[in-house]
Structure 1
Amino acid sequence: MRCLLLIPVAWVLTGCSVDFQGWGGMKQQPKALPYRESAFFADERAMRQPPVGTVPRDRRGKDRFLLTGKDAPDGGYVDSIPLTVTRELVESGGRSFDIYCATCHGVLGDGVSQVAKNMGLREPPSLVDMPPYPDGYYYDVITQGFGLMPAYAEKLTPEQRWAVVAYVRALQESQRARLEDVPPEARPQLEKGGPP
């Protein structure tokens, strides 16, 4: 008797295409593929624009400066990082920089790397010698890409991109620093050649 009860259960679980009150058509559902025609809509397009005011889930509750690096009224770049800059933020930016940026821009951000030497079209610029661009500019370049540099929006979250900007700023300061800029208690270590 138990075997007879298990047969219908096994039959349903195998995915048989018998129509149980409309369930059988699940294998044969119509769908719209991107960039294809669709007779369902009046304009015969399958792809639809999101409704006005739609906010992607990953952007809910986040500041537009954090997401774009731009000032909304005039479209200019924001001057400062919209996160609290801490040692942890800069160090995490350094890890991301080492993975994604240092191969072309060099470990010191000076544009000296083996990849840069082998680039035929144009070597990547030195980030240390860049003009004084606002922080939002660096964020936008990381997000959108620039020239031969690809966009990293899919690889780095907005917070990680801002962390890379913080690390680039730290690189710029470290390469331009003089011994007089170092706190007096850290100078003996530098003069010995060790880490501060």
Structure 2
Amino acid sequence: MRRALGGLLLAGVLGGCSVDFQGWAGMKDQPKGLPFRENAFFADGRTMREPPPDTVPRSRRGVSRRFLTGREAPDAGYVEELPLALTRELVEGGQGSYDIYCAACHGVLGDGVSPVARNMGLREPPSLVDLPEYEDGYVYAVISEGYGLMPGYAEKLTPTQRWAVVAYMRALRESQRARLEDVPAEARARLLQEGVP
């Protein structure tokens, strides 16, 4: 029992040391490229490498390029409409993501009115309600890649979440432009009872 305990203790102590075992250096001491460090091996001197063009992560195999980029092809323009089925759940999910990532600058109503927008010195965020009618793929690409002072959100939102934000932005835009005549008759009666002009 003592011998096993002593062996276990010795293994634990030696495991924390940097030991040269049969010519092998410990992993801590081995030569390797560290992120953001120079590397004379590559012509540009960088350790961190760009993936080869058209590389697709394993997690995205089988998913179309137009779904991931919002573009029909590299030089063929943007996707006209959502590549997902437009459902209530999709729009509500888009609202949740919009409220977290977009509303701080673009406003809850998408009108560009928010405390953050009022305090931006260089340029206030635009009203999403007043923007021209862009293709859904273009809006998706802006959410993914950013535009002007706006950062891209591809690292924070999955492709499905970004498309959901596009769907919610369309619904938000329509809701801000809607007239009472556009509402179905049964809902119009309810709105009139509630005093909506």
- TM-score range normalised by the length of the shorter chain: 0.7 to 0.9
Aligned residues: 193
The match for 1:101 is 102
- Contact between 1:143 and 1:152, CA under 8 Å: does it hold in 2? yes
User: Given residue 5 of structure 2, which amino acid in structure 1 is its aligned partner?
Assistant: L
CA drift of 1:186 comes to 0.8
Question: 2:23 & 2:83 partners in 1: Cα distance?
Answer: 53
Question: 2:4 & 2:170 partners in 1: Cα distance?
Answer: 70
Distance 1:76 1:30, change over 3 A: same
User: Given residue 36 of structure 1, which amino acid in structure 2 is its aligned partner?
Assistant: E
Q: For residues 74-105 of structure 1, give each alpha carbon's deviation from its aligned partner in whole angstroms, at most 9, with x where no partner exists.
A: 33111011111100000010111111111111
Distance 1:7 1:50, change over 3 A: same
> Residue 25 of structure 1: SS of its match in structure 2?
coil
Q: Confirm or deny that 1:56 pairs with 2:54.
A: no
Distance 1:185 1:136, change over 3 A: same
Q: For residues 40-95 of structure 1, give each alpha carbon's deviation from its aligned partner in whole angstroms, at most 9, with x where no partner exists.
A: x7987644454566421332221111110011063311101111110000001011
Question: 1:112 & 1:44 partners in 2: Cα distance?
Answer: 45
Q: Confirm or deny that 1:12 pairs with 2:14.
A: no
Distance 1:43 1:8, change over 3 A: farther
Matches within 5 A, 1:107-122: 107-122=108-123
Q: For residues 128-168 of structure 1, give each alpha carbon's deviation from its aligned partner in whole angstroms, at most 9, with x where no partner exists.
A: 11111100111111111111111111111111111000000
User: Given residue 123 of structure 2, which amino acid in structure 1 is its aligned partner?
Assistant: R
The match for 1:155 is 156
Question: 2:11 & 2:43 partners in 1: Cα distance?
Answer: 39
Q: For residues 160-183 of structure 1, give each alpha carbon's deviation from its aligned partner in whole angstroms, at most 9, with x where no partner exists.
A: 111000000001111111222111
Q: For residues 93-124 of structure 1, give each alpha carbon's deviation from its aligned partner in whole angstroms, at most 9, with x where no partner exists.
A: 01111111111111111111122122222111
The match for 1:65 is 66
> Residue 26 of structure 1: SS of its match in structure 2?
coil
The match for 2:75 is 74
> Residue 151 of structure 2: SS of its match in structure 1?
coil
Q: Which runs of 5+ in 1 are unaligned?
A: none
- Contact between 1:78 and 1:135, CA under 8 Å: does it hold in 2? yes
Question: 1:121 & 1:27 partners in 2: Cα distance?
Answer: 46
User: Given residue 124 of structure 2, which amino acid in structure 1 is its aligned partner?
Assistant: E
Q: Which runs of 5+ in 2 are unaligned?
A: none
- Contact between 1:17 and 1:25, CA under 8 Å: does it hold in 2? yes
- Contact between 1:110 and 1:128, CA under 8 Å: does it hold in 2? yes
Q: Confirm or deny that 1:168 pairs with 2:174.
A: no
Question: 1:38 & 1:152 partners in 2: Cα distance?
Answer: 33
Distance 1:38 1:130, change over 3 A: same
Distance 1:45 1:181, change over 3 A: closer
> Residue 62 of structure 2: SS of its match in structure 1?
coil
CA drift of 1:22 comes to 5.8
User: Which has the higher mean CA deviation after the structures are superposed, 13-22 or 82-91?
Assistant: 13-22
